[in-house]
Amino acid sequence: MLPKSQQALALVHCNNFYVSCERIFRPDLARVPMVILSNNDGCVVSRSNEAKALGIKMGQPWFECKELAEEHGILAMSSNYALYADMSNRVMTILSDFSPQCEVYSIDENFVDLTGMPKIREVSYAMRERVGMWTGMPVCVGIGPTKTLAKLANHVAKKHPRSKGVFNYNALTNVQKTNLLQHLPVEDVWGVGRKLTKRLASFGVTNALDLREAHIPTLRAEFGVVMEKTQRELQETPCIKLEEVPADKKQIVSSRSFGSMVTELPVLKDALSTFVANACAKLRAQKSHASVIQVFLGTNRFRKELPQYAPCLAVPLPYPTNDSLEVNRWAAFLCERMFKPDYQYKRAGIMLSEISPVTHSQGDLLEAVHADKHKLMEALDNLNARYGRGAVKVSTQGAYSGWQMKQERKSPNYTTSWDDVPLV
């Protein structure tokens, strides 16, 4: 491991990512206060700076904002996940040109290892400029010796105009570092949420400097090893590695709230078939299979006047599998066992667990293994990759559309559909 002074991790973060994706193709919205809504247009999941200034909170239900929206002309749009995923992929591809070591941390964040590079600040501005020029996406860059400090540096780059979108924590003197951490509330530290903020306050820890200087044995005894790692990262000791290859998932969940209430068993099965297809495709992509399937249903808990019911059943599979047809049969079986016609269902989902690599498989003496199924799933994945997701699907999938989520304010798929390509 290189000395602490030589570590230089840059966190590149897209500003107001979902909103920025929409504005790239709608320049007329550049100064308009706007928000992006979650599935079924329920809650706010992204806000423009103008909307933030008006008091719109992250995660706030949209119905609570409608009066404020009418007063100030706030534009609300449905989430367009196909557009956001494609724009994210373009940004991350550009950033990979600047370093062979990158970690795509989320849809709008990328850790780029700039260790050993000369003129790191100039490289950071070059990253910012190229992403903006090639995609139109505004980004900020924070540089630090650890992931936690890179996150804090990015926070400073975003909040303070003098930084011009780039802030290098490594370039500060010890006095400047102390002064900066003293003025950053502890809730701004990566991994410290609201509950932890309150608990830390009871120990006299209210800012990032307090956390850095806290008594290590006490901190570990009260908050566990994760908080100690955070503290050591603030002390410039790297404890969280750069993960260039994403770790395989240990559980895969696929679920969704419905666009309207569902009361019929075939419609529920149709929805579950879609969830199974998505989950099994992810399994096959990481070359894994699962041994347990869990299915859950739920009514609308916000409709107190309606009878409530939220069943959940799990079953171990006869043998580990990633076969969509096999898993779909078990999902339908569990759904039939739980379904009661007297309820109105608002959500459903599946979870695949006890996941292991396909190279590690414990056979069953009483169950034959069908090699043809593997070829069938491979052909299905190849066709869907070539012609688009859902081009080929099982017969129980897609027959009903009533459960599909509401997207009444959705923008066109500008970059992933020939029919929606912008005309000039």
The answer to whether residue 355 is domain-embedded is: yes
CATH of residue 220: 1.10.150.20
Q: How many domains does the chain have?
A: 3
The answer to whether residue 375 is domain-embedded is: yes
pLDDT of residue 161: 83
Residues 68 and 153 in one domain: yes
How many other C-beta atoms can be found within 10 angstroms of the C-beta atom of residue 270? 20
How many other C-beta atoms can be found within 10 angstroms of the C-beta atom of residue 284? 19
Q: Which residues of the chain have pLDDT under 70?
A: 1-6, 244-245, 361-373, 399, 401, 405
Cα gap 398→273, rounded to integer Å: 8
End-to-end CA distance of the chain: 52
The answer to whether residue 313 is domain-embedded is: yes
Residues 164 and 35 in one domain: yes
CATH of residue 63: 3.30.70.270
Residues 47 and 33 in one domain: yes
Residues 123 and 187 in one domain: no
The answer to whether residue 285 is domain-embedded is: yes
Residues 127 and 11 in one domain: yes
The answer to whether residue 410 is domain-embedded is: no
The answer to whether residue 414 is domain-embedded is: no
Give the domain range for residue 345.
252-387
User: Of 171, 199, 230, which closes a domain?
Assistant: 171
Q: Backbone phi, then psi, for 232, in 5-degree steps?
A: -65, -30
Residues 194 and 102 in one domain: no
DSSP string, 89-146: HHHHHHHTTT-S-EEEEETTEEEEE-TT-SSHHHHHHHHHHHHHHHH---EEEEEESS
Residues 94 and 105 in one domain: yes
User: Of 221, 245, 269, which closes a domain?
Assistant: 245
Residue 2's region, left for phi above 0, alpha for psi from -120 to 50, else beta, is: beta
Mapped to the 3 state alphabet, what secondary structure does 206-232 carry? Answer: CEHHHHHHCCHHHHHHHHCHHHHHHHH
User: Which tokens is 298 given?
Assistant: 């739920």
Please tell me the pTM assigned to this model: 0.81
Residues 329 and 239 in one domain: no
CATH of residue 269: 3.30.1490.100
pLDDT of residue 213: 92
The answer to whether residue 90 is domain-embedded is: yes
Residues 273 and 124 in one domain: no
User: Of 227, 245, 263, which closes a domain?
Assistant: 245
Cα gap 126→292, rounded to integer Å: 48
Residues 133 and 269 in one domain: no
Contact 253, 351 (CB under 8 A): yes
Residues 95 and 192 in one domain: no
The answer to whether residue 133 is domain-embedded is: yes
Residues 186 and 275 in one domain: no
pLDDT of residue 4: 46
DSSP label at 32?
A: S
